[in-house]
Amino acid sequence: MAMEDALIMAKCLRDIPQTEEAFSTFERLRAKRVEKILDLGLKGDSGKFSKGDFQVWMRDAMTSFFLTFFANEKGMRWVYDYPLEWGTPIETAK
């Protein structure tokens, strides 16, 4: 996310002469993806605080299944294959 942010910010500053507009465009471009990644992270944390022997056993037993099912290449591609095309200019919202 930090590398994505840095490149998008650099493109905004390169392509938009007004600094304030560059920053607001950056926020607009990044907000939806950042919220989606944050939501994914928060959901991932929910099972880490299991209490009781059965909950811990169930969490540990199901972890490999869920990682295989949900973290497969196709299901998680949106996280890792974010297109960053340096040559494509950033356009401001009209």
- From residue 27, alpha-carbon distances to 14, 39, 53, 68, 90 in Å are 15, 17, 44, 33, 13
CA-CA-CA-CA dihedral for 22, 23, 26, 27, to nearest 10: -150
How much is the mean pLDDT over the chain?
83
**Model pLDDT for residues 33-69, shown as the tens digit of each residue:** 999 999 888 876 665 666 778 887 887 777 777 766 6
Tokens of 12: 């905004």
Q: Is the pTM of this model over 0.85?
A: no
